[in-house]
Each structure stands twice: as structure tokens, then as C-alpha cells.
Amino acid sequence: MLPLSLKSTLRCGENPHQKAALYIDKGISLINAGGIANAIQHHGKLIARPYSYYFAGVLDALVIIIFPSPLVQEMPYNNYLDADAAWNCVSEFKSPTCVIVKHTNPCRVASRQDILEAYRLAVKADPISAYGGIVAFNTTVDEDLAKELREYMNPIKDTMWMFYEIVVTPEYTLKKDLRSLKGNQESDDLTPDDIKFSVMSERVPEETELHDAEFAWLCVKHVKSNAIVIAKNNCMLGMGSGQTNRLESLRIAFRKAGESAKRAALASDAFFLFAWEDAVEEACKNGIGVIAQPGGSKRDGDAVDCCNEYGVSLLFTSVRHFRH
């Protein structure tokens, strides 16, 4: 049996009528391992707004949960799941990156040297999904970014501020009564640096397309299966998740990406069972530039032939990323 100890009784479970509690592994807590569950809580007030901050120093991140109440409350069950998913995803990226999570799925990801630009790009890509979600950064949240988080207007409803349940960041530098915590986290998960992207098609992807494929591959491993991600220029344009067939996930991803999907990269968390008159051919017909998938199907040859027919680059990673 694991040496678990009760840390706190949560505000509610997955639904309000369900009870929930947080247990932590004593062994992990003794060695100061990171993670949302081992958060150290701090409190402060948001300036000029009737909200309260909930601070959770995560050793490898700082979590700020904003509640529309003068009282700071315990996090509910879903907040822990979403915060953990957001931090795990954003930690994959080396460049300054913003990840927005909804129901443990990254609905938008953007990387830019200017973290403000990355945040704005992530929100504009899908403000409907972003509203009320969890936003995570892998770089410092300073005064300018904090102000942007508070005052950025909804791109669809310009009379409404954007709202987030949680903000996750490795460092927080603000004046007044807000605190800053630092930390680091090493992930033992496979990254594109650990994976060989083998070119299976006649067409070799350009350097920018290969970079887009690597970016899409980082994103898709954090999306629930069956997972499809479309990305270009360090931005996730569309994703389909949690469907019972891969073709439906692909169609959802293309619907979200729209015309931006032309010459973009598509990543699939597992191999395609069929190619012709199915997901691979549909992706090719929609103008995708490069497809990255694990390979390993008995019909891999069909996927190769289909991509060659349409002049699309096909990459095999030999690594599957199922996520349930």
C-alpha cells in the first residue's frame, strides 16, 4: 500500500453533489517533489477588483486561482486535474509558451519570444474555449502580463473581460502584497529531442514544416485520445479530442483551424487504421502539409501511398501517445 496522508478536504468533487479529498504520497512530500498536489498555499488580494487570489506554491510552479468572492476557498477536484494538465503541457516547451486548458485538454497553445504575444495569440485562436479555462506559462508572469490577464477584453464580446479559473507560472514577480515563488521541474516524458521523425513519404518536409510537426507532436500528447492536433508557426490552430473514432477528431480539428490549416502540420496520437477514403486522405484533401503519426498499422503502406498521391509529407515517430 502507498503511504498516503490526507492533505485537505476539497470544496467539491467532479460535480457539486460529490465529495472529494486530496491525499498525497508521504514519501514524495518528504523529498520536496513538485506537483500541484504538494502545493504550499499563500493568500493575497487582487488590486482594484472584488476578487481574491488563492496562491499555491507548487515548488515547480505558482498557481493563482481567482474566485469571485472575498473569501479564499479550497480548490475543487476539477481544478487540481486541470492545473496539473496545464503545467505538464506547458513544461514541454523550451520557448516562452502559453497553454490554455479546458477539461484537462489543451484547447490552445502558442509559443513566441514575447510571452504577451503568445498569450494574445492563444486567446484569439479560440476565445470561446479559453474563457473560464486554466492558463499556464513556462516563464515569469510580471506586472505587464498580470495586467493583461486582468484587463484583456474578450475578442468576441468586447464589453467582457476574459476570465480564468487558474493561472500557472514558474515565477511570479509583482509588487504590493503579491508573493513570488520559484522552482524547476524535469519531465521524464519523451520530447521531440528524444524521438526520431522518420520521413516515410517521397516529399521531404521543409525545415519549417518539420518544426511545425514537432510542435504539433508536443501538443497532441496532452490531448485525450483519439487526438488530432493541427499546428503552424508555433501555434495550435485546431484540435479534436475524446472521440470514439479518429476521423471524427480530425474533422473537429479542421473545423476549428479553418483556412489556417493549409500547409500546416497535423499530429495524431496513434496510427491511422485506414488511409484511403478515411482520415489520411481527408487531411490531404484539406491541404495539410505534413502529417506526423506513430506508424505501426498493417496499413501503413496505404498511408504512405496516399500522402505520395497528394504530395504531402509523412513522418513516423514510432511512439504512441494515448491519453485517457
Helix or strand or coil: residue 120?
A: helix
Residue 111 half-sphere exposure toward CB, CA atoms < 13 A: 20
21 inside domain: yes
Q: How many domains does the chain have?
A: 2
147 shares its domain with 263? no
311 shares its domain with 228? yes
Residues 6 or more apart whose CB falls under 8 angstroms from that of 233 comprise 212
**pLDDT at site 205:** 98
218 inside domain: yes
45 shares its domain with 164? yes
324 inside domain: no
Condensed to tens digits (0 to 9), the pLDDT of residues 28-60 reads 555 445 566 665 444 333 333 333 333 333 334
28 inside domain: yes
13 shares its domain with 112? yes
Condensed to tens digits (0 to 9), the pLDDT of residues 103-118 reads 888 988 999 999 999 9
Condensed to tens digits (0 to 9), the pLDDT of residues 55-71 reads 333 334 444 443 333 34
As a whole number of angstroms, the distance between CA 73 and CA 66 comes to 10
Whole-number Cα distances in Å, 208 to 194, 204, 205, 211:
19, 11, 8, 5
306 shares its domain with 232? yes
85 inside domain: yes
133 shares its domain with 255? no
* End-to-end Cα, the chain, rounded Å: 24
126 shares its domain with 217? no
Domain end: 135, 169, 203, which one?
169
21 shares its domain with 161? yes
- Omega within 30 of 0 (cis) for the link into 138: no
What pLDDT band is residue 184 in, cutting at 50, 70 and 90? very low
**CATH classification at residue 284:** 3.40.140.20
154 shares its domain with 202? no
Does the pLDDT at position 231 exceed 90? yes
67 inside domain: yes
**pLDDT at site 56:** 37
pTM over 0.85: no
Average pLDDT over every residue of 237-245: 91
Identity at 197, one-letter amino acid code:
F
**pLDDT at site 192:** 67
Condensed to tens digits (0 to 9), the pLDDT of residues 250-270 reads 999 999 999 999 999 999 999
Identity at 47, one-letter amino acid code:
I
Structural domain including 81 reads 4-169
198 shares its domain with 160? no
What pLDDT band is residue 158 in, cutting at 50, 70 and 90? low
182 inside domain: no
13 shares its domain with 154? yes
88 shares its domain with 43? yes
Q: Whose CA is closest to 36, among 12, 58, 62, 7?
A: 58
Residues 6 or more apart whose CB falls under 8 angstroms from that of 187 comprise 88, 91, 92
322 inside domain: no
